[in-house]
């Protein structure tokens, strides 16, 4: 059987390639979610899997763990095999901030996702669009706050300019 692989990359001390069986190394959680899709209506599913936070924390994100403010510039970009992607902020899943119970689903309705790859599970979302299936890459990006501010555009900027 071909196992899908997920690449953890970006500002991480320990980048990794993980299969769905690898994701069983972390504590497993079970959740029922329902979300609405603009095209197919309401869907209800049961998922199991580790917390996204636990997996990423073990990969060694490049912030100073003692300085909570340092985490606020980190983004998490999650991409599926078809290119569908979404951004989360580190603070969204960090227990010191919003602590959203986001999972990396390794099974859906008791069917293992070994072959299609893990699915992002966001019990707090009303809409289904961020439940990205077949995740191929998760990129942790701490550069946002490190970039210099963009130079001011030339000329005067005014809300009521023509
Ligand atoms: N990889 C990937 N995951 C995706 C999508 C997608 O286009 N690609 N669509 C999202 C949307 S819009 C919804 S509502 C949920 C459920 O979509 P489904 O009914 O196609 O499974 O999956 C989400 N995950
Ligand atoms: Mo959707």
Q: Is residue 123 part of a domain?
A: yes
Q: Is residue 161 part of a domain?
A: no
Q: Is residue 113 part of a domain?
A: yes
Q: Is residue 150 part of a domain?
A: no
Cα 22-16-56 angle, rounded to 5 deg:
80
CATH number at residue 127: 3.90.420.10
Q: Pick the residue whose CA is nearest to atom 9 on ligand 1.
A: 129
pLDDT of the residue at 126: 98
Q: Is residue 93 part of a domain?
A: yes
Check if 117 has its Cβ closer than 6 Å to any atom of ligand 1. no
> For residue 3, is pLDDT > 70?
yes
What residue numbers bound the domain in which 10 lies? 5-141
Check if 131 has its Cβ closer than 6 Å to any atom of ligand 1. yes
Check if 116 has its Cβ closer than 6 Å to any atom of ligand 1. no
pLDDT of the residue at 159: 54
Q: Is residue 149 part of a domain?
A: no
pLDDT tens by residue, 113-126? 999 999 999 999 99
Q: Is residue 46 part of a domain?
A: yes
pTM: 0.92
> For residue 80, is pLDDT > 60?
yes
Ligand 1 pocket test target in 45, 81, 84, 105 with most atoms within 8 Å of CB:
84
Q: Is residue 148 part of a domain?
A: no
The domain tally of the chain equals 1
Q: 22 CB contacts (<8 Å, ≥6 apart)? A: none
């Amino acid at each position: 059987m071909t196992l899908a692989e997920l690449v953890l990359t970006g500002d991480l001390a320990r980048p990794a390639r993980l299969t769905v069986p690898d994701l069983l190394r972390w504590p497993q959680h079970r959740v029922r979610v329902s979300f609405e899709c603009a095209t197919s209506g309401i869907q209800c599913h049961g998922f199991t899997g580790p917390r996204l936070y636990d997996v990423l924390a073990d990969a060694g994100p490049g912030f100073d763990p003692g300085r909570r403010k340092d985490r606020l510039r980190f983004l998490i970009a999650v991409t599926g095999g078809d290119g569908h992607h979404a951004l989360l902020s580190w603070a969204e899943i960090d227990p010191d901030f919003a602590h959203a119970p986001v999972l990396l689903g390794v099974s859906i309705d008791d069917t293992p996702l070994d072959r299609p790859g893990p699915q992002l599970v966001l019990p707090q979302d009303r809409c289904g669009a961020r439940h990205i299936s077949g995740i191929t890459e998760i990129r942790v990006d701490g550069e946002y706050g490190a970039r210099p501010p963009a130079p001011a555009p030339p000329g005067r900027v005014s809300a009521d300019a023509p």
